[in-house]
Structure 1
Amino acid sequence: MALQPLDWQPSNCHRWPESSKTDAHLLLLLCEDGHNSQVDGRRAPSPSSSDGRESFQPVTILELPPEILAEILVHCLPTYSAAPAALRAPLLLGGICGEWRMIALSTPSLWSTFILPVDMGKTTDDSPVVRLFESWIARGGNYPLTMVISCSASDAGTPPPYTLPGSFISALSRSASRWHDVHLVLPHGDFHRLQANDGFPFLRRLAVKAADWRLSRPDATLPLDLFINASVLDDVFLGEGFDISDINLPLHQLSYFESHGGTAVSYFQVLCQATELREIRLNPRSVTRFEEMVHSNVKSLNLQSVDFQESEALGILDYMTCPALEKIVIGGSTPLLSHSLLRFLSRSSPPLREFILDLDHHHISDALANTNDVLMAMPALELLELKPLTAETAHDIFNRMYDKTTLFLPRLTTLRVEVTLHGVRSSSWTYATLVRMAVARWNVEADENIAQLQLFKLSFSNPHHFSRVWGNPWPQLDADSRAQLVLLDEQGMDIELMIGDDDEPPIVVDA
């Protein structure tokens, strides 16, 4: 069941477990006439027809075995889970007929994945949301839970400090032994009220955030020990209000870690102890005090992916060696100074396959300093995304990829670039180099040293600003270049070329 987190959840929503879904209209197709609707089932074959072929009779929906109907009901769940609602499965299913209600109530998996918003200012022991939660948990039996409990305070509610009623905390504690993938947005103090008498035998993914994180809390609060013995926990996200110093975790068994409130020092602590870590996302609150870290190198043998939410955090690379790293993602609002990255690459020599720079598109300079030096240190790259780039740097990359003698990025199959037009006259940008590169990297034939470029996307940042402020039209795609790109597209290369501004639709090759 894919669970869509609430708006506080970071961009890595893909980490929620997926399962197959049917179209949202399936239920209506099945139930338009409960007793007469038919599905494409089959009865046992009747005697052969006159032409010698077996004849099949359709089966009505109510003739399906209960276990088959239960499976169909599970596939009627929303693609993106939301708060329980009468007009949404699974509650909707119980209103079709008595038999469907009985089957729905006896199918725990229907009640195992949900999002529950809770108004901290209005929730009391006898509030409907408490009874709803208790009922939902009971109907789920012993099935592992995938859920979001998201607390917030309405403007008309009780003023802070906030706390949840004891009945809700008790119900949440009783369900702890069934937690599997759980996002909890609770008042900070209520995390310390939770209990897990039977432990967390199923808990694999955990995300926590203090609903009252904007409010000050006592400095003497002890670290939360609730999850220290979660034996299979391997994926942790710490939202606002939680640093690694606020919660004790079984770091030695984690494969994924992310924190929105950490410092460079706290991330270094995680890297030192989480020896099985495969992926880490860094969004440090403070990146200027690297001198507080122990001046010894952390060799992360298993780390395969690192995501920097701010490019200023790259200084931590001076304290890391990651020989198995396959993916680097860097975002933020400041251009990337690549000195730490270059030192890291020369020390680690990782088999990097993906390198993504996604900085603020308002920058008018290259997102990456010493672009070609950095790229030459990653010869195994298969996916490259750079934005923004100056026109000069983009041309340089295309030129190097066109010249097969340099073997520049020889394994690249996916290339996405965004070019900033600041200071560029329309006549100074041509598409000839771009087209030559695309043709050369598509027609590689049997060359074993160079991979075929399969996907290429080029766009311009702020063309409207360029056109209006600098008085120049955006660079136009000439007919010959367009024809060559269209031909490559027809031959199978996935090409997308975005050119235009707010007043004129963009040109898109392979729309």
Structure 2
Amino acid sequence: MHQSVSAIVIERQQQLDAVLHEISGLETVMDGIKNLHQQLVEKKDRITWSMNMHKGLISPLWRLPTEILSQIFDHCLPGEGSLLSPSTRRAPILLTGICRRWREVAVCLPSLWCRLYVEVHDSDWQRASFCYDSWLKRSRGCPLSLELNCVANDLTKLQSLFQPYIDQIIQSSSLRIHFYGETVQPELLLQDLPALQEVTMIILAHIDTSYIAQFISRLPSTLRSLTVTESFGVEHLSSCNSVLAHLTNLEIYIDHSNAFIHLLQLCPNLSSLKVCAVINQVQTLEPFTHTSIRSLRINFNSVYTRCISGLFDALSLPNLRVFEARYLRSWPHKEFKSFLVRSQCPLESLTFGSLRKMMTDEQRAKYVNLFPSIEVIVLHPLESTF
């Protein structure tokens, strides 16, 4: 009995070995088929790539004159105000990786390389400065628009980076600066900018208003557009009079209605004004008329702003065409309507944000009766961006 069972086990082992051998042979065949399939797929991809490339060579796109291709490249850049820093995923560097001709056109097109966002990091400055320098060389002497994101200990590095391009910086028409503290003195880097027309000051830390006013007062009289992302006290406005008097566009934070009126008095040529405002005092203001304002946008701080009727009682804007007001708990319809009637302005657009529950159809109709062709927009709170 024992010998019979042992013989069966030996026989089954022989059968198992034979099956395993067959499986191994089949797996070898399957691996070979898999490798062959992969080779064929890769060959198909190469043929497809080559076919598409050669089709592209006869496409009108590849026969576009350099002048037209250059204009297309210019439109590939992000809009004004957007950060423009070295990245292989975005234009203009992205354009240099498509093909040899596109790279040649892009590299030789100075307008693609005249805007630059510079951010200093101690740990990687050597690599970053090489990228920035390569970028700036491609601007080929054209005026530069810079955005600086730096702290006090970065000044030496930035001076070293910008020194070869100082003539282009002097011709600059646009400058954006991120302030991290009062120890940062970017004016020491860029003391003389006689062609400067646009400045944006992004305040990222608490800074005394007097320091901001001091910086603004040093800006040239060529300035036409100014943005300041920090509350600005009325007591410091007059020190900036020589700059404010020439502005046509202004974005600023103010802390009460008297500052609003005083600001308009100092900016007689202002055409567009965007204000973030906190008005929490009821004041009687002297009547004031500003004849140049065409666009007025006010973003009220709904937590601290209490009463704004006094502002509209004093103000007249006879040239106003666009008005926006956002983030306010209640709206002084009576005073605002009187302001419009008194101004006799050619209003074209009226936008309210976060006031859906506070404006009735009757109130909307009154504005339309005053200006039959006006567009009245009441935004939902989630739409009320500023």
> Same fold by TM-score, threshold 0.5 exceeded?
yes
The answer on 1:129 being equivalent to 2:121 is no
User: 1:283, 1:308 within 8 Å by CA — same for their partners in 2?
Assistant: yes
User: 2:86, 2:132 within 8 Å by CA — same for their partners in 1?
Assistant: no
What is the correspondence of 1:292-311 to structure 2 with a 5 Å cutoff? Answer: 295-310=285-300
Which residue, out of 249, 254, 258, partners 1:256? 249
TM-fit CA distance, 1:200 = 3.5
SS at structure 1 position matched to 2:134? helix
Amino acid at match of 1:297: P
The answer on 1:184 being equivalent to 2:177 is yes
Give distance in 2, aligned partners of 1:34 and 1:195.
51
User: 1:113, 1:147 within 8 Å by CA — same for their partners in 2?
Assistant: yes
The answer on 1:340 being equivalent to 2:339 is no
SS at structure 2 position matched to 1:334? coil
Per-residue displacement from partner, 1:147-201 (whole Å, max 9, x unpaired)? Answer: 54456xxxxxxxxx86534222564683542433443223243245444454241
Give distance in 1, aligned partners of 2:111 and 2:221.
23
Per-residue displacement from partner, 1:446-492 (whole Å, max 9, x unpaired)? Answer: xxxxxxxxxxxxxxxxxxxxxxxxxxxxxxxxxxxxxxxxxxxxxxx
Residue number in structure 1 paired with 2:86: 84
User: 1:282, 1:307 within 8 Å by CA — same for their partners in 2?
Assistant: yes
Residue number in structure 2 paired with 1:166: 156
Which residue, out of 102, 111, 114, partners 1:112? 114
Structure index of larger Rg: 2
Which residue, out of 296, 317, 325, partners 2:320? 325
Amino acid at match of 1:236: L
TM-aligned CA distance change 1:145 to 1:367, over 3 Å: farther
Give distance in 2, aligned partners of 1:251 and 1:34.
59
Amino acid at match of 1:199: L
Amino acid at match of 1:383: E
SS at structure 2 position matched to 1:328? strand
Which residue, out of 346, 363, 373, partners 1:371? 363
Amino acid at match of 2:375: L
User: 2:321, 2:345 within 8 Å by CA — same for their partners in 1?
Assistant: yes
Give distance in 1, aligned partners of 2:94 and 2:251.
37
Aligned length: 318
**RCO higher in structure (CA 8 A, sep ≥6):** 2
User: 1:188, 1:241 within 8 Å by CA — same for their partners in 2?
Assistant: no
Residue number in structure 2 paired with 1:233: 223
Give distance in 1, aligned partners of 2:126 and 2:308.
45
Give distance in 2, aligned partners of 1:76 and 1:376.
40
TM-aligned CA distance change 1:351 to 1:103, over 3 Å: closer
Per-residue displacement from partner, 1:23-77 (whole Å, max 9, x unpaired)? Answer: xxxxxx9xx7389723327xxxxxxxxxxxxxxxxxx55xx66555544544444
Which residue, out of 53, 57, 61, partners 1:37? 57
The answer on 1:199 being equivalent to 2:193 is yes
User: 1:176, 1:200 within 8 Å by CA — same for their partners in 2?
Assistant: no
Per-residue displacement from partner, 1:71-120 (whole Å, max 9, x unpaired)? Answer: 4544444577653212433223334566654443332111123444x36x
TM-fit CA distance, 1:143 = 2.7
What's the TM-score once normalised by structure 1's chain length? 0.52
Per-residue displacement from partner, 1:339-398 (whole Å, max 9, x unpaired)? Answer: 43133233222222222222155xxx423698268527723442112367xxxxxxxxxx
Amino acid at match of 1:94: T
Amino acid at match of 1:136: W
Amino acid at match of 1:334: R
Aligned-residue identity in percent: 18
Q: Which runs of 5+ in 1 are unaligned?
A: 1-28, 42-59, 152-160, 389-417, 419-511
